[in-house]
Amino acid sequence: MTRPLAEIYDSIAENFAEAAIAIRIGPTTSPEPPEEALPDLPFTDTPVATSAPEKPHGSAAVCPAHGVEFVDGNFGLYCQQMSDDPEWSNAKGFCRITPKNAAIYMRKAVAAGKR
């Protein structure tokens, strides 16, 4: 026995209506949202700031008379500045203070009341 045509249309219409609702509001039982995976960050002990001063700072690396860094030359570190101190300048008038004699210079400068 065949169903009346109207009944079949009703059935089709209901199915289309359900499909339309599902399209508009989505399935009534929405799946759980996927658990968001935490990014796999590598653990590290090294500090964030890894940049260290390239050149050492302090009296050992700076000419105490001129306040400039010693420059590495053929005979070691030296000061490139001209000096008006006859005791601490060479024949050409250049500063002859080096890291090795800077402490001596400082002692004499303090003793002479320059510092």
Write out the residues near Zn ion by the rule CB under 5 A. Answer: 63, 65-66, 79, 81, 95, 97
- For the chain, the C-alpha Rg in angstroms (whole number) is 43
Q: How far is the CB of 81 from Zn ion (least distance, A)?
A: 4
Q: How far is the CB of 76 from Zn ion (least distance, A)?
A: 14
Q: How far is the CB of 48 from Zn ion (least distance, A)?
A: 37
Nearer to Zn ion, 79 or 99 (CB): 79
Torsion over CA of 31, 36, 37 and 42, rounded to 10 degrees?
A: 180
Nearer to Zn ion, 63 or 99 (CB): 63
Nearer to Zn ion, 4 or 58 (CB): 58
Nearer to Zn ion, 22 or 104 (CB): 104
* DSSP letter (8 states) at residue 71: E
Collapsed DSSP state (helix, strand, coil) of residue 95 = strand
Give the containing element (helix H, strand E) for 76: strand 76-78
Collapsed DSSP state (helix, strand, coil) of residue 72 = strand
Q: How far is the CB of 51 from Zn ion (least distance, A)?
A: 28
